[in-house]
Structure 1
Amino acid sequence: MTHTTGRVRSSDVDIFYRTFGRPGGTPILIVHGLSYFSYDWIEAGTLMAKDREVVAIDMRGFGESSWSQTRDYKLETLSNDVIAVMDHLGWDKAVLMGHSFGGRVCLATAGWKPTRVAGLILVDFAPDIAAPGRKYTAQRIGGQPDVFASVDEAMTYDHDDPSDAKRRARWEAFLTKTDKGYALKRDLHYRDNFRRALETGQSSPVPTFLWPMLSEMAIPTLVIRGSMSNMFEAATLGKVRQMNPRATAIEIEGSHDLAGDNPNGLATAVREFLATSGL
Structure 2
Amino acid sequence: MTSAPEAFTTAGDGGVRIVGDRIGDPLAPAVVFLHGGGQTRRSWGRAAGAVAERGWQAVTLDFRGHGESDWSSDGDYRVASFARDVLEVLRDLPPKPVLVGASLGGFTSMLLEGELAPGTARAVVLVDIVPDMDQSGASRIHNFMFDRMQSGFDSLDEVADMIQEYNPHRPRPTDLDGLRANLRHRDGRWYWHWDPKFIDGTSALPPTEVTEVDRMHAAVQTIVDAGVPMLLVRGQMSDLVTRERADAFIARFPEVDFVDVGGAGHMVAGDRNDLFADAVVEFLGRHAAR
TM-score (norm 2): 0.86
Correspondence 1:39 to 2:42:
yes
What is the alpha-carbon distance in structure 2 between the residues aligned to residue 138 and residue 29 of structure 1? Answer: 25
Name which of 119, 122, 129 aligns with 2:123: 119
- Aligned partners of 1:6 and 1:37: how far apart in 2? 15
Report Cα offsets for 1:9-64 as digits up to 9, x if no partner: 11231111011222576311111001321111131111121111010100000001
Structure 1 Cα separation of the partners of residues 160 and 243 of structure 2? 29
Aligned counterparts of 2:186 and 2:202: Cα–Cα separation in 1:
24
Task: Give the Cα–Cα distance (whole angstroms) in 2 for the partners of residues 110 and 98 of structure 1.
Answer: 12
Aligned to 1:211: 217
Matched-pair contact (CA < 8 Å) for 1:47–1:264: no
Partner of 2:182: 174
Q: 2:270 aligns with which of 257, 260, 273?
A: 260
Residues 79, 210 of structure 2: 8 Å contact kept: no
Cα distance change, pair 42–5 in 1 and its aligned pair in 2 (3 A): farther
Q: Which runs of 5+ in 1 are unaligned?
A: 196-202
Distance 1:141 1:25 in 2: 36
What is the DSSP-based 3-state SS (H/G/I as helix, E as strand, rest coil) of the residue aligned with 1:49? helix
1:208 is paired with a residue whose SS is helix
Shift of the 249–152 alpha-carbon distance from structure 1 to 2, 3 Å rule, reads same
Q: Is the 8 A contact 1:33 1:100 kept in 2?
A: yes
Question: Which residue of the partner structure matches residue 100 of structure 1?
Answer: 103
Q: Which residue of 1 aligns with 2:70?
A: 66
Contact 2:124 2:228 in 1 (8 A): yes
Unpaired runs of 5+ residues, structure 2, are 204-208
**Would you say the 8 A contact 1:216–1:244 is kept in 2?**
no
Q: How far off its partner does 1:241 sit?
A: 2.0
CA contact (8 A) 2:135 2:240 kept: yes
SS of the aligned residue for 1:222 comes to strand
* Aligned equivalent of 2:5: 3
Q: 3-state DSSP class of the match of 1:157?
A: helix
Cα distance 1:234–1:44, how it changes in 2: closer, same or farther (>3 A)? same
Residue range with higher mean Cα deviation, 208-217 or 91-100: 208-217
**Residue matched to 1:199:** none
- 1:81-96 mapped onto 2 (5 Å cutoff): 81-87=85-91, 89-96=92-99
TM-score (norm 1): 0.89
Could you say what the CA RMSD is over the residues aligned between the two structures, in angstroms? 2.3
CA drift of 1:91 comes to 2.6
Q: 1:228 to 1:93 in 2, by over 3 A?
A: same
Higher relative contact order (CA 8 A, sep 6+): 2
Please give the alpha-carbon distance, in whole angstroms, between the structure 1 residues aligned to 2:32 and 2:199: 26
Are the structure 2 counterparts of residues 249 and 25 from structure 1 closer, same or farther at C-alpha, using a change threshold of 3 Å?
farther
SS of the residue aligned with 2:77?
coil
- On the 8 A contact 1:214/1:243 being kept in 2, the answer is no
1:233, CA displacement in angstroms? Answer: 0.9
Shift of the 80–262 alpha-carbon distance from structure 1 to 2, 3 Å rule, reads same
- Find the aligned partners of 1:213 and 1:205 in 2 and give their Cα distance: 14
Q: Does the CA-based 8 Å contact 2:123-2:288 persist in structure 1?
A: no
Alignment partner, residue 158 of structure 1:
163
- 1:63-111: CA deviation from partner (whole Å, max 9, x where unpaired): 0111011111111111001111111x23322111100111001111111
Q: C-alpha separation between the residues in 2 aligned to 1:12 and 1:162?
A: 40
Separation in 1, partners of 2:143, 2:288: 42
Q: Percent identity?
A: 24
The total of aligned residue pairs comes to: 270
